[in-house]
Amino acid sequence: MPFRRRAAFGCFTVNMSAARCQCKRSGIVRGSDVHLSVSIVRSERKKIHVISHLYTSNCSQPTPGEVSLAHHGVLFLDELPEFQPQVLDGLRQPIETGEAVIARANQRVSFPARFQLVAAMNPCRCGRATEPGFACRRMPNERCMADYQAKISGPLIDRMDMVIEVPAVSAADLILPAPAEGSAEVGQRVAAARALQGERYRALGLPLLLNAHAPPAVLDAVATPDTGGAALLRDAAEAMRLSARGYHRVLKLARTIADLDGVATIGRMHLAEAISYRGATDRIRAAA
C-alpha cells in the first residue's frame, strides 16, 4: 500500500537515524562524510520474545528501536507472554501516543512510533489446553491457561482493538476449497477503506490518516452510531464494564467496519461485530 508524503517522510527520518547508528558501530562513519541509501517501504517487524531493544537500539546514543522502525507499518510479536512484563508494559505509551520516548540521564528523545501491533500466543505454555480430551499434568487446564495469560497486563489488553481465538487447523480443514474472497480482493477493500478515511479527515482539516488515530473529540463527529447501535453500545459498555479507552476503541473499530462495507452511518451490526472482538479480553483481564 503506497505511502502518503507525510508518512513517507516520517519513516525516512527513522530509518536514516537507525542507519547512521549501524554505520558508526561498523566504523563506516568518518566525520560528517556520510552517504546513506535508505529504502522506504511499509515495514513489517517480526520479533520473537528474545529481544531487548523494542524502544531503542544498543547504540551509545538513543536511536530508533523496533517500535519506531515499524512506524506506519506492522510490529508482530510472537509468543506474547514470553516477553518480559516490563517490555510489554512499555508498549502502552507508544500504542496510545504514537511516540517512543527515551529518557536518559542527560537527554530526552522522542521517536515516532505509529505502528500496528499484531501479536500471537498460545492459550497456555504447552499450547494444548483447549484440545478436546487433553489434561494438563501440572494443574487443571483452566488454571494453567489463567497463569500463562496473566503475564499480559490488563492495561495492555485494554489497548488492543481485537482479541480473536483461532482454533487449530485440522486435516479436514486443509481439504476444504479456498475461500471465494482471496487476499487480493481483501486488500482492495482495505485500500478503499483507508482512502475513504484519509479523505474524511482531510475534509475536516485534520492531519489524520486512519480512524485508529482519531482522538475522542473527533469520534463524536465521525463515529456517531444510529439509534439501534447507540443502544447496543450503551448496554454492552455496562455489561462488559468497558473503560473509557475500551469504549472509544469499539467506536473506532465499528467506524472502520462500516467503512469496509462502504456505509456512511454506523449501524447496530457494525457495533455488534466490533464488540464481539473484545469478548476474549474479559477472560485475559480476569487472569491478569
In the CATH scheme, what is the code of domain 42-164?
Answer: 3.40.50.300
Is pLDDT at 52 greater than 60 in this prediction?
Answer: no
Is pLDDT at 187 greater than 50 in this prediction?
Answer: yes
Dihedrals phi, psi of 117, to nearest 5 degrees: -90, 125
* Higher per-residue confidence, 110 vs 272: 272
Q: How far, in Å, CA of 179 to CA of 183, rounded? A: 10
> pLDDT tens-digit profile of 24-50?
444 444 434 444 344 444 555 555 544
Dihedrals phi, psi of 17, to nearest 5 degrees: -65, -45
- What percentage of the chain exceeds 70 in pLDDT? 76
The pLDDT, as a whole number, for residue 22 is 52
Mean pLDDT of all residues in 93-120: 87
Of the ranges 1-15, 114-128, 190-204, 250-264, which one carries the lowest mean pLDDT score?
1-15
pLDDT band at 101 (very low <50, low <70, confident <90, very high): confident
Nearest to 166 by CA among 119, 228, 208, 206: 119
Is pLDDT at 190 greater than 80 in this prediction?
Answer: yes
> pLDDT tens-digit profile of 195-245?
999 999 999 999 999 999 999 999 989 999 999 999 999 999 999 999 999
Q: Where are the domains of the chain?
A: 42-164, 189-287
Distances in Å between the alpha carbon of 253 and those of 161, 212, 260?
7, 8, 11
> pLDDT tens-digit profile of 111-154?
899 999 999 999 888 888 888 888 887 788 888 888 888 899 99
Mean pLDDT of all residues in 4-19: 54
Cell numbers describing residue 273: 461485530
Instruction: Say whether 109 sits in a helix, a strand or coil.
Output: strand
Is pLDDT at 269 greater than 60 in this prediction?
Answer: yes
The pLDDT, as a whole number, for residue 51 is 47
Cell numbers describing residue 58: 544498543
> pLDDT tens-digit profile of 150-183?
899 999 999 999 999 888 888 888 888 888 888 8
